[in-house]
Amino acid sequence: MNKKILKFIGYIILSIGAISMLVPFLWMLAISFMEQKQIFAYPPQIMPKPFIVDNYINASKTIPLIKYFLNSAFVAIIATIGQVILSAMAGYAFARVKFKHRELLFFLFLATMMIPPQVNIIPLFFIMREFHWIDTYQALIIPGMFGGFGVFLLRQWFKTLPIELENAAKIDGCNIFQTFWKIALPLALPALATLAIFTFITMWNSFMWPLIVTNSEAMRTLPVGLAIFKGSFRETTEWGQLMACAVISVIPVILVFLVGQKYFIKGIISGSVKE
């Protein structure tokens, strides 16, 4: 069979897969603008008639939706910045700085990736309690700033950089921190963007840990708030309002991915597969 025909068939299959993955999101978006009776109408109506925005208004009146959104945004952004900075410094140290037991320590970092996050919840909770950080931003942010994956990803990327660039910087009088900041870090932008996207999405969608360490309404993040919002319905679930909240919750994730998509793909293909 002609290669062009195979390529065309491949595009068709990928297009069908992409459309099928978009259908649930588009249906969620449509429901968020429908009245309750229209959602369960038969035959199903694809487009909202009439087109209403009351679901968004009523949802924000039922729960402090803006407060939950801002909490999630603050936690996700600060944790992402912290993890990118710390992982970049650790990754560069493992890639370029020679020190005793470097490989053993790096192996221990990799070993932490094999431990399910649920196993760490109880000891991590006790640590937060001893620091009196329960129901604070510190408990929501600081545990998310550390992770073995980021160190591994950036270490692999830094090892792909030509050592001649760093040697030239040393000849010009740069110390190790200046070399890292002026030479290595700008060249690692795709890997940094990849890590930032992964971390932001993880922190934004985090549910179990914020549920455990927050008690007050003022500290709740959006996933916890949505769960409580769904549980507040007594007789009939207001699906329009629930879908409105869900639409609001996925918008930042989509925007972050679209902005960093170019670097994300390059970082995954290049930095994480070379030694």
Instruction: Report yes or no on 117 lying in a domain.
Output: yes
Q: Is residue 42 part of a domain?
A: no
Residues in the chain: 275
First to last CA, the chain: 37
The one-character DSSP state at 175 is -
For residue 190, being part of any structural domain is answered with: yes
Q: pTM here?
A: 0.86
**CATH classification at residue 266:** 1.10.3720.10
User: For residue 35, which of 272, 252, 239 has the smallest C-alpha distance?
Assistant: 239
Distance CA 184, CA 157 (A): 10
Q: What pLDDT score does 275 carry?
A: 44
Helix boundaries (H) for 32-133? 36-39, 54-62, 65-96, 102-112, 117-130
CB 182 within 8 A of CB 195: no
Closest by alpha carbon to 55, among 251, 250, 249, 245? 245
Angle, helices 65-96/54-62, rounded to nearest 10 degrees: 80
The mean pLDDT value for 206-234 works out to 87
- State the virtual CA torsion across 44, 49, 54, 55 in degrees, nearest 10: 20
What pLDDT was estimated at residue 269?
57
pLDDT at 267 over 70: no
**In degrees rounded to 5, what are phi and psi of residue 194?**
-60, -50
Q: Is residue 9 part of a domain?
A: no
Q: Is residue 44 part of a domain?
A: no
CB-CB contact of 28 with 248 (8 Å): no
Q: Please give the Cα distance from 68 to 226 (Å, whole number).
A: 9
Q: Distance between alpha carbon 112 and the CA centroid of its chain, in Å?
A: 19
- Domain contains 232: yes
Report the sign of the C-alpha dihedral through residues 128, 129, 135, 136, in that order. Answer: negative
Smallest CA-to-CA distance from 207 within 230, 191, 235 is with: 230
Query: For residue 91, what are the domain limits?
Result: 56-271
- Report the distance separating Cα 205 and Cα 228, nearest Å: 15
Q: Does residue 268 surpass a pLDDT of 60? A: no
Q: Is residue 202 part of a domain?
A: yes
Q: Is residue 24 part of a domain?
A: no
Mean predicted confidence (pLDDT) in 114-133: 91
In one letter, which amino acid is 148?
A: G
pLDDT tens digits for range 162-207: 888 888 888 888 888 888 988 889 888 888 988 999 999 999 999 9
The rounded mean pLDDT for the chain is 87
**What is the number of structural domains in the chain?**
1
